[in-house]
Amino acid sequence: MNELTEKLDPHCVGRYLIDVPHDVLTFGRVEIQGVSIGTTLLTQHEYARAMEAREAALKSTKSVLGYQFLYEHGEGQQKGTRYFVHLKSETDPSDASRVIEAYKWDSGYQIKLQIEAVDFTRSKFKDKPSIKQMIIKNDVPEKSHAIFDLLARVRGRPENDIPTEPGVCIRGGFLPGNAGAQENVAMQFVLRDSPDVSFDLQTDSDIQESTTLLERGSSINEVLKHNDGRTIRKRQVNLTGMQAEEWLMAGTTTLDIPGHHLTLEANSKIGSPKTPLVTLDMNTGSLNNVQREHINKASLSEGEVVALWDAVSRTLRPRPNGF
């Protein structure tokens, strides 16, 4: 256990920092103003080839119902960026569904932005009374503007780079800017040598709960009863820059073996852009982005689980100047 806790590295997630064991595998997802953002580690040459392949794939895709599939494509507002507007899928029953994709390469990363939209102005069904009554028949221009604005600002970022300016950290990237609504960021850290052990950190600027974690005790206890569960510890926690509550549990996991679920929650009732709902979960003996097959037992003892949780969870804090 000393090997896991003696070297913790800071990671930036959303507008927060957390220190996790050095040798972890990371997975992330983020949605800003309805736009999903993802990154892939690529050379600039690999990025150019990927864009050629994406364009070719979309041009060759055919709607099973005979609808036009690719509507717009080309270079974005910045040199080297690319965008595509296409039907949601080749089997989509509607000819008005749209997906807007936009790409850029920066600092060793391909950055992809995507959002769904609709355009009934080109639909074969546009003269139907129900469609004529729609207030917004085409939101592609509005959403294209939003996606290009984000594309211009987002940049690639190595995991060991901790920004000093306001903005949102994503896996492999950073979006500078002050805190705003519709920011949902999630990151999963999986221990490389104990892949059944994971930490999940999520922040959401738009959720205000009616109760705190500990106030939901009756429903949590009911779940524990059905999973041979028990409480290890539950209490309020003072973290740097915020108050939180934690509940540490043991029970039968998704792999049908004894394991642990530890959770911490902050800003439950005051969720806002400046104080987003923050949740941190630790799971052992469970499925995650790495552990996809059955195992016979969890890799950590209960004492090791609690020690690792205490070492990691207490480092969770707002990033200085992050908001």
> Rounded CA gap, 191 and 29, in Å?
18
The residue among 153, 172, 198 that closes a domain is 153
The residue among 138, 153, 168 that closes a domain is 153
Q: One-letter amino acid identity for 303?
A: G
Q: Are residues 201 and 226 in the same domain?
A: yes
> Residue 147, class by beta-carbon neighbours within 10 Å (0-12 exposed, 13-18 middle, 19+ buried)?
buried
CB 44 within 8 A of CB 103: no
Beta bridge partners, 8, equal 21
pLDDT of residue 264: 99
pLDDT of residue 3: 81
Task: Flag whether 322 is in a domain.
Answer: no
Q: Are residues 48 and 27 in the same domain?
A: no
Q: Are residues 112 and 212 in the same domain?
A: no
Task: Flag whether 140 is in a domain.
Answer: yes
**Which tens digit of pLDDT belongs to each residue from 185-242?**
999 999 999 999 999 999 999 999 999 999 999 999 999 998 899 999 999 999 999 9
CB 114 within 8 A of CB 99: yes
**Which tens digit of pLDDT belongs to each residue from 14-41?**
999 999 999 999 999 999 999 999 999 9
Structure token pair of residue 38: 């993802």
The residue among 153, 173, 202 that closes a domain is 153
Task: Flag whether 160 is in a domain.
Answer: no
**Domain membership of residue 12 as a residue range:** 2-33+181-316
Task: Flag whether 158 is in a domain.
Answer: no
- Sequence-distant contacts of 76-82: CB under 8 A, at least 24 apart: 76/102, 76/103, 76/104, 76/148, 76/151, 77/148, 77/151, 77/152, 78/104, 78/151, 78/152, 80/104, 80/105, 81/151, 82/51, 82/54, 82/55
| Longest alpha-carbon distance in the chain | 69
Q: Are residues 206 and 147 in the same domain?
A: no
Q: Are residues 15 and 42 in the same domain?
A: no
Q: How far is CA 40 from CA 10, 75, 158, 199, in A?
A: 21, 19, 11, 21
- Please count the structural domains in the chain: 2
Q: Are residues 53 and 7 in the same domain?
A: no
Task: Flag whether 284 is in a domain.
Answer: yes
Structure token pair of residue 187: 């990151």
Q: Are residues 312 and 201 in the same domain?
A: yes
pLDDT of 180 over the 70 cut:
yes
Q: Are residues 228 and 293 in the same domain?
A: yes
Give the residue ranges of DSSP H helices in the chain: 2-5, 44-60, 129-132, 140-153, 217-226, 302-313
For position 282, which CATH number holds?
Answer: 3.40.1000.10
Residue from 24, 19, 147 nearest 76 by CA: 147
Q: Are residues 190 and 147 in the same domain?
A: no
Task: State the DSSP code for 54.
Answer: H
Beta bridge partners, 82, equal 75, 103
Q: Are residues 28 and 83 in the same domain?
A: no
Q: Are residues 296 and 194 in the same domain?
A: yes
**Which tens digit of pLDDT belongs to each residue from 101-159?**
999 999 999 999 999 999 999 999 999 999 999 999 999 999 999 999 999 999 999 99
Task: Flag whether 175 is in a domain.
Answer: no
> Rounded CA gap, 38 and 24, in Å?
19
Instruction: Please state the pTM of the whole predicted model.
Output: 0.94
pLDDT of 86 over the 80 cut:
yes
The total number of residues shown for the chain amounts to 323
pLDDT of 2 over the 80 cut:
no
Q: Are residues 219 and 146 in the same domain?
A: no
pLDDT of 1 over the 90 cut:
no
Task: Flag whether 168 is in a domain.
Answer: no
**Which tens digit of pLDDT belongs to each residue from 46-57?**
999 999 999 999
CB 4 within 8 A of CB 20: no
> Rounded CA gap, 30 and 202, in Å?
9
> Rounded CA gap, 167 and 287, in Å?
31
